[in-house]
Amino acid sequence: MTADVTTERVDDGPADHAARVMPQLDTVSHAAVSPDDEQPYAELGLRADEYARIREILGRRPTTAELAMYSVMWSEHCSYKSSKVHLRRFADLPESDALLVGMGENAGVVDVGEGWAVTFKVESHNHPSYVEPYQGAATGVGGIVRDILTMGARPVAVMDSLRFGRADAPDTARVLPGVVAGVGGYGNCLGLPNIGGELLFDDCYAGNPLVNALCVGVLRHEDLQLAKAEGTGNKVVLFGARTGGDGIGGVSVLASETFDAEGPAKRPAVQVGDPFTEKLLIEACLEIFAAGLVTGIQDLGGAGISCATSELAAAGSGGMAIDLDAVPLRDSTLTPAEILMSESQERMCAIVEPGKVADFLAVCRKWDVLATVIGEVTDGDRLTIDWHGERIVDVPPRTVALEGPRYERPMARPADLDALQADAPPSSSADLRADWLAVVSSPDGADKTWVTEQYDRYVRGNTVLAQPEDAGVVRIDESSNLGIALSLDGNARYARLDPYTGAQLNLAEAYRNVAVSGARPLAVTNCLNFGSPEEPEVMWQFAEAVRGLADGCRELGLPVTGGNVSLYNQTGDVAINPTPVIGVLGVHADVRRRVPTGWRADGETVLLLGETRPEFGGSAWAAVVHAHLGGLPPRLDLAAERALGELLVGLAADGGVSSAHDLADGGLAQALTESSLRYGVGARLTVDGDPTAALFGESVARVVVTTSDPAAVRAAAEAAGVPVTELGTTGGDALVLDGLLELPLAELREAWTATLPALFGSPEVAVGTVPAGTVPTS
């Protein structure tokens, strides 16, 4: 941390201790007359040309405080300086009637009908979670929840998409339990059900685990809040937790640099979460919104007060005056620059009319939330910040918040990509039964109860479907049964083989998962996790993934409502596989018509919808059985996805299917395992054609459904142009594939459930065991 004050000895007399060292503030007027003072811009992550541009904007050198603000706001994390030129593709998508608020606000807002709107977004907290797993993950949840709250919505659910290094690597045993406990510890204490997510392992994440958290919130159309400061004389109110020394420079140091094994410890830059305070903040905010007490609101996340004040001012009329002395501190020794950069959690900033300040403060008092007027909206277009009566910041806020640098970074197709794509995977299984067990017991394929039972999925009483279902489903209106479905998917093997197609395949999978539950897909969000943008090959992967996602959304007719970019997921010169995690939101007109993935009844017909081809590139089977990654990912067919999706939504509305499960990683073998073990119902099935392709191929646009009326499903599928294959009938206590293999459910369950407890410790040791789906029913 750079010193914010220069000290000069004014008196050597030992008696006058207090006067011996008198700090001299780096004020605006001092900066104007000391142009040649050296400033630590490089240590703060700024390039020489960026620093020169700041000097040009201000017409002088920045003060220490100004330099701190620019450095955090112009960091990759806050400014999207490497990604912005590519993200324009999302804004260029055709306008959607469903979109009430698009990209650029804290989160996009979608109209879901009946006067309800939904806002949802995913955000990464990758780097902090590696440094300090519990707090990194916990504050990742806290941050995205505040983004949703800021839109005027009540947060109603969270999801988490997680990636770690090899499951048996020692560092995974350090990071994973802490991350899971952090996601759970924060979300559980906030009272938000966790309705789903992903947990995947790959060596490429060993030094760069991914922790992507999604939050979804619900609001009435008229309750929408925006983050802007308008109305001269309106007060700027900071409320929530006190400001401390945690998280200083988190965005510029942690999230915008590559980890370096030689580098200094980065632990102090991780924030510490207090979910109890956030819960109070949520309830206080919703009461404040309901009473109409704010004209604008912004949460404090990365870059803290620097970000909130400059963004509010930049989005409004531009003028704002802040008295930094008014900010309540946890640590009175913090310098002004540290206060401006601190990422202390659980803080919000509101713009309040003077006549409403007393009511605003009263609501905060009721909820034991500290609230302080720290400034006001002013005429003009300058953001000024004073400290001890001296002006230490005087900047045009747009230059801080909106007009950061933008780079068209060099791009290059990875040199190894041709060879990788030419390296076709094996295509024939030597032992179908052994391979089946290997795939479903692999850490990626195995039962995730070890993780999900650490999350509250019931709180608020509106969770209709949660993990291990294909999509999470939440009721949003108890009188009409209107609800929403959400899925997060991010296959990085596909994206490594072909980032353009891989991003679309992830979109297709999330779309399919939402449709499987019976919901109509409506909007898309994303969290794009990549390596260093300064590597041309990474930048090419990023650009291709964005182009793919935009093209896919255009074809499916879905808007991108917002998203998050996480770069520098790289240790040394080794980047993670490109990991575009895609979230799709769907709407259920009546959640009572939701379709679960598990089989409950004997004697139902099992049908496969969609077409199977021998496609093994990037497949779980190739990875698990052959440690192979190569070839091309499955062929994308968005027209088929759309036809299948519409068919599934129609079947759900008519009650035509009793279960539906998407085929993805691990193919049919994985899907049949999960559907049968859910409630302990087996099946006798026959598959045609090449058995390896049938069981382990990962052709997309496929779903397994069960029904008591196969003729009706077949007719609907034929009308929709979706191929149908009858596989057999549910029943019995084994999965029997005629002529190929037989798997007793008990053996299959043992294989599927034992993996994660064996790796990460079994809480069952001390107490009895209730495997999923075997709870006694009354």
Partner 1 sequence: MRIGVITFPGSLDDVDAARAVRLAGGEPVALWHADDDLSGVDAVVLPGGFSYGDYLRAGAIAARAPLMRSVVDRAHAGLPVLGICNGFQVLCEAGLLPGALTRNSHLHFRNRDQGLAVERADTAWTTSFTQGQQIVVPVKNGEGRYVAADADLDRLEGEGRVVVRYVGGNPNGSSRDIAGVTSADGRVVGLMPHPEHAVEDLTGPSEDGLGFFTSVLTAVVAA
CB of 752 to partner 1, least distance (A): 17
Question: Smaller CB distance to partner 1: residue 35 or 776?
Answer: 776
Separation in Å, CA 609 to CA 50, 344, 654, 724? 55, 50, 17, 5
Contact 270, 182 (CB under 8 A): no
Question: Smaller CB distance to partner 1: residue 460 or 613?
Answer: 460
- 17, 30, 86, 125: the active-site residue: 125
Separation in Å, CA 147 to CA 61, 100, 112, 302? 33, 16, 19, 11
**Residue in 578, 482, 488, 567 with CA at minimum distance from that of residue 524:** 488
Q: How many CB atoms lie within 10 A of CB 39?
A: 20
The string of DSSP letters for 247-312 reads TTTIIIIITTS-B-TTSPP-GGGS----HHHHHHHHHHHHHHHHTT--SEEEE-BTBHHHHHHHHH
CB of 778 to partner 1, least distance (A): 5
Q: Is 77 a catalytic site residue?
A: yes
Q: Is 125 a catalytic site residue?
A: yes
Q: Decide: residue 268, CB within 10 A, 0-12 exposed, 13-18 middle, 19+ buried.
A: middle
**Residue in 637, 631, 639, 638 with CA at minimum distance from that of residue 615:** 631
Give the number of C-alpha atoms closer than 13 A to the C-alpha of residue 705, restricted to the C-beta side.
37
Question: Smaller CB distance to partner 1: residue 413 or 592?
Answer: 592
Question: Smaller CB distance to partner 1: residue 346 or 489?
Answer: 346
- 296's CB contacts (< 8 A; 6+ apart) are 225, 226, 227, 228, 229, 230, 312, 315, 316, 350, 351
- 724's CB contacts (< 8 A; 6+ apart) are 607, 608, 609, 713, 714, 717, 718
- Rounded to 5°, the CA angle 74-76-80 comes to 90
- 30, 77, 86, 628: the active-site residue: 77
CA pair distance 198, 178, nearest whole angstrom: 16
CB of 481 to partner 1, least distance (A): 8
CA pair distance 584, 557, nearest whole angstrom: 12
Which amino acid type is present at position 459?
Answer: V
**Residue in 215, 161, 107 with CA at minimum distance from that of residue 490:** 161
Using DSSP's 3-state secondary structure scheme, residue 493 falls into helix
Question: Smaller CB distance to partner 1: residue 33 or 767?
Answer: 767
Question: Smaller CB distance to partner 1: residue 94 or 776?
Answer: 776
Question: Smaller CB distance to partner 1: residue 474 or 507?
Answer: 474
Give the number of C-alpha atoms closer than 13 A to the C-alpha of residue 657, restricted to the C-beta side.
33
Question: Smaller CB distance to partner 1: residue 468 or 731?
Answer: 468
Q: Compute the CA torsion angle 673, 675, 680, 684 (nearest 10 deg).
A: -70
CA pair distance 612, 82, nearest whole angstrom: 39
Question: Smaller CB distance to partner 1: residue 46 or 286?
Answer: 286
Question: Smaller CB distance to partner 1: residue 282 or 644?
Answer: 282
CB of 762 to partner 1, least distance (A): 8
Max intra-chain CA distance, the chain: 99
CB of 65 to partner 1, least distance (A): 33
CB of 402 to partner 1, least distance (A): 37
CA pair distance 588, 153, nearest whole angstrom: 19
CA pair distance 199, 210, nearest whole angstrom: 10
Question: Smaller CB distance to partner 1: residue 274 or 698?
Answer: 274
CB of 518 to partner 1, least distance (A): 13
Question: Smaller CB distance to partner 1: residue 66 or 274?
Answer: 274
Q: Tokens representing 682?
A: 């087996």
**Residue in 59, 41, 40, 38 with CA at minimum distance from that of residue 50:** 41
Q: How many CB atoms lie within 10 A of CB 769?
A: 11
CB of 487 to partner 1, least distance (A): 19
Q: Where are the alpha helices (DSSP H) in 376-459?
A: 397-401, 417-422, 432-441, 449-452
- Rounded to 5°, the CA angle 280-527-559 comes to 95
CA pair distance 300, 283, nearest whole angstrom: 17
Summarize as ranges the residues that interact with partner 1 (CB under 8 A): 181, 184-185, 188-191, 274-277, 279-280, 367-368, 452-464, 475, 478, 591-592, 763-770, 774-778
Separation in Å, CA 263 to CA 136, 249, 260, 301? 19, 15, 5, 25
CB of 767 to partner 1, least distance (A): 4
CA pair distance 84, 403, nearest whole angstrom: 11
CB of 279 to partner 1, least distance (A): 6
Question: Smaller CB distance to partner 1: residue 326 or 770?
Answer: 770
Contact 240, 347 (CB under 8 A): yes
CB of 215 to partner 1, least distance (A): 16
What residues are annotated to the active site?
Answer: 77, 125
